[in-house]
A = this chain, B = another copy of it.
Amino acid sequence: MAKEGADMTEETEYMIDKNVSKEAENVESSGDAKEMRAVVLAGFGGLNKLRVTKKAMPEPQDGEVKIRVKACGLNFLDLMVRQGTVDNPPKPPLVPGFECSGIVESVGENTTGFEIGDRVMAFVNYNAWAEVVCTPVDFVYKMPEEMTFAEAAAFSLNFVAAYMMLFEVANLREGMSVLVHSAGGGVGQAVAQLCSTVPNVTVFGIASCFKHAAIRDSVTHLFDRNVDYIQEVKKISPEGVDIVLDCLCGENTAKGLTLLRPLGTYILYGASNMVTGETKSFFSFAKSWWQVEKVNPIKLYEENKVIAGFSLLNLLFKHGKCSLVKSVMDKLLCLYDQKKIKPVVDSLWALEEVKEAMQRIHDRGNIGKLILDVEKSPTPLYCMTLMVEGTEEEERVGEMAINWQL
């Protein structure tokens, strides 16, 4: 793995361009005129590894649905994919993206349950950030009529993950308390909404100060991510909390365990602290990995505590739990119909604006979900930024000029 890491840092613009031109050749040589736009990650690394290019249009295989994509969800995990710090990523060039919404364009053989024209949302094992995707029917769900495509792309991953953590892993019940990091993010907002469907649940949220005004009503208590939240929570609830949801990892794991009440459950559902910058990410990642404090089961025994890990993508694509996820999705769509939950969309971005969108999520600037809107044209400022294939610093200067009021 160390070798792979070293290779990654040696990727150059030259390689990216070569790959892109190779792909273009493939498209032409196959004689297939059908093409689509897609975001392509040329190699693991910084934002400059991303570009929008033409790719051959996929066709649905047995049991697959072909979707004309309208909107795609952007998650912190996509940053980890870009940096190559997820477990067993495919070899680049690759099209990132794990969820989308759109319209069924055709279905493969032996595919039942969907018809051309159906409005759907879907999980995809990579390849979501494109104009067209194909994915097995098990990962496709019909959208409620009143749901927009942007909402649908913001719904699947965040709400399914939040629901499964709260109710499948941790067994949330009346009167319990929940601590959630990144309370302003997509999962954080889904967690807050789902907690409000259970009577008398106290939600402690942690978020950057500038988000507090926007999300104050969604949680019971809100703390700045830069304060000592352990002390703050203990002032209000000296016994601690019943559930800690942590997407950060690192030192928060030990802190989270400290905060648990007896029989409480700590759930690690991400490791965003492992994304520390634009470059040399693999080494930061390896360092963070080894620094995560390991847990002695006997300590859990003495303290009556539970520690869990939750990865929805692994559950879907590695562990074959799509029927369980389907049943969860049914429950969630029920709650949506009852207007008890509603995805929070932070902002919409054109495919060509994916770098700026990624930087925003990296900087934790978002409140709710970032969406790639496939039909959106990039704003002139972004086009300018895209044309500057400069250094990381130049990109940052460009981003500082961005007006977030979309």
Contacts and interface: CB of A to CB of B under 8 A. Distances in A.
Given A168-B263, A262-B315, A301 B296 contact: no
Interface in A254-311: 261-263, 265, 268-271, 289, 292, 294-311
A269 B306 CA distance: 12
Contacts of A189: none
A303 B88 CA distance: 13
Contacts of A314: 262, 302-304
A350 to B, nearest CB: 32
A268 B292 contact: no
A321 B87 contact: no
A171 interface: yes
A301 B252 CA distance: 15
A235 interface: no
B301 A269 contact: yes
Contacts of A296: 289, 292, 294-295
A56 interface: no
A249 interface: yes
A147 interface: no
A303 B270 CA distance: 12
**Interface band, chain A:** 35 or more
A305 B297 CA distance: 14
Contacts of A295: 294-297, 307
Contacts of A306: 169, 265, 306-309
Contacts of A311: 301-302, 304
Greatest chain B CB density within 10 A among A249, A301, A302 is at A301
A218 interface: no
A319 interface: yes
B301 A268 contact: yes
Contacts of A304: 309-311, 314-315, 319
Given A263-B321, A321-B262, A307 B301 contact: no
Interface in A68-125: 87
A135 interface: no
A253 interface: yes
Interface string A142-183: 000000000000000000000010001101000000000000
Contact of A300 (B87, B268, B302, B321): B268
A298 B302 contact: no
A75 to B, nearest CB: 15
A297 B324 CA distance: 23
Contacts of A309: 297-306
A338 to B, nearest CB: 24
Given A169-B263, A263-B315, A249 B307 contact: no
B294 A300 contact: no
Nearest to A296: B294
19 contacts: A164-B263, A169-B306, A249-B297, A261-B319, A262-B315, A262-B319, A268-B301, A271-B301, A289-B296, A292-B297, A295-B295, A295-B296, A295-B297, A297-B307, A300-B309, A303-B309, A304-B311, A305-B309, A306-B306
Sorted nearest first, the 10 A-B pairs with minimum C-beta distance are A300-B309, A301-B309, A294-B294, A262-B319, A306-B308, A268-B297, A268-B301, A295-B295, A171-B171, A294-B296
